[in-house]
Amino acid sequence: MKVVWSPLADDEVDEAIAYIAKDDPAAALQWLEHLLERVASLATFPDSGRMVPELQRDDIREIMVGAYRVMYRRSQDRVEIVAIRHHARDCEEEMS
């Protein structure tokens, strides 16, 4: 299964790294490495995440990476990373 990133998710990763790096650049790098490992595992285990509670849709799932929710849309042949949000932020309907 192929894993792709939406432009929004790509931008949000950059924002998260910048935010974490303000306090601890090494932690930002460590978080990014962990994120990339977890996302790569979705190619093999696309159903490993839970349904996003706010949306209750089986095709939109999430995994946690530190304090961040990695939301993705699963289809027959690919996983699209659609958003990266701090757990304290609400999920928006833009993923529908």
CATH number at residue 49: 3.30.2310.20
In a domain, 48, yes or no: yes
Residue 93 covered by a domain: no
What's the first-to-final CA gap in the chain, in angstroms? 21
Contact 74, 4 (CB under 8 A): no
Count of domains for the chain: 1
Q: Assess if residue 75 is contained within a domain.
A: yes
Which residues constitute the domain of residue 33? 2-88
Instruction: Determine, yes or no, domain membership for 96.
Output: no
Q: What is the pLDDT of residues 21-49, one digit of tens each?
A: 999 999 999 999 999 999 999 999 999 99
Residue 50 lies in a domain: yes
Asked whether residue 49 is domain-assigned, the answer is yes
Within a domain: residue 94? no
Length of the chain: 96
List, for residues 66-86, the tens digit of each pLDDT value.
999 999 999 999 999 999 998
